[in-house]
Amino acid sequence: MEEKNNRQTWLSAGLQILAAQGPERLRIMSIAEDLGVTKGSFYWHFKNLDEYHSALIEEWERSDTQQAIAFVEGMTGDANSKLQCWITGASMSDLRLAKAIRTWSMSHPLVKEVQARVDQQRINYLSKLLHDVGWSADQAATLGQWTYWAFIGFSSQEEPSITDQQLALILQVLKPR
């Protein structure tokens, strides 16, 4: 089967559409048209739209959380470097997809479940990084949770941006003295 017709291509296209246009645009025919294929290609990979939505949200969890954690964990360097990479990567990323999924989670039970799981994975990882840089387990858990929810607030802005100076201050505050 041609590269443009594979399952991953359908998932990537869906995530792009979700980020740019929202969940209401996740329709088989419109995605097929965007990909330049027939909707039969869709049914080669997915039983129905519900299965596609499920695969799409699982792909987002894998690519935007599990792979990000694996990337940071695979880095050489100390705990401070890993924390800096995690915070910088999050604050500089394209947040349109995260906003679209959080909005979608308000009306779709499976998406809500995965969103909650992703939130917890990210909080746990951030707490681990904060513990690794020297905070006690309780302090790291509190700072991890509050830092993550502050990030969610930041990401919900219309066009969030952060300067290098602001980022440096955030990282300075997150390091124990």
For 22-57, write each residue's pLDDT tens digit.
999 999 999 999 999 988 989 999 999 999 999 999
Confidence of residue 4 (pLDDT cuts 50, 70, 90): very low
Answer yes or no: is 28 within a domain: no
Sign of CA dihedral 50, 51, 56, 59: positive
Q: What letter does residue 94 receive in the DSSP assignment?
A: -
Confidence of residue 3 (pLDDT cuts 50, 70, 90): very low
Q: What is the pLDDT, as a whole number, of residue 5?
A: 54
Confidence of residue 161 (pLDDT cuts 50, 70, 90): confident
Answer yes or no: is 143 within a domain: yes
- Give the count of domains, the chain: 1
What average pLDDT does the structure give for the chain?
Answer: 93
Answer yes or no: is 160 within a domain: yes
Answer yes or no: is 121 within a domain: yes
SS (H, E, C) 95-156: CHHHHHHHHHHCCCHHHHHHHHHHHHHHHHHHHHHHHHCCCCHHHHHHHHHHHHHHHHHHHC
Answer yes or no: is 115 within a domain: yes
Answer yes or no: is 162 within a domain: yes
Domain with 165 in it: 69-173
* More confident: 102 or 4: 102
Answer yes or no: is 140 within a domain: yes
Answer yes or no: is 45 within a domain: no
Q: Provide the percentage of residues in the chain whose pLDDT is more than 70.
A: 97
pLDDT tens across 65-74, in order?
999 999 999 9
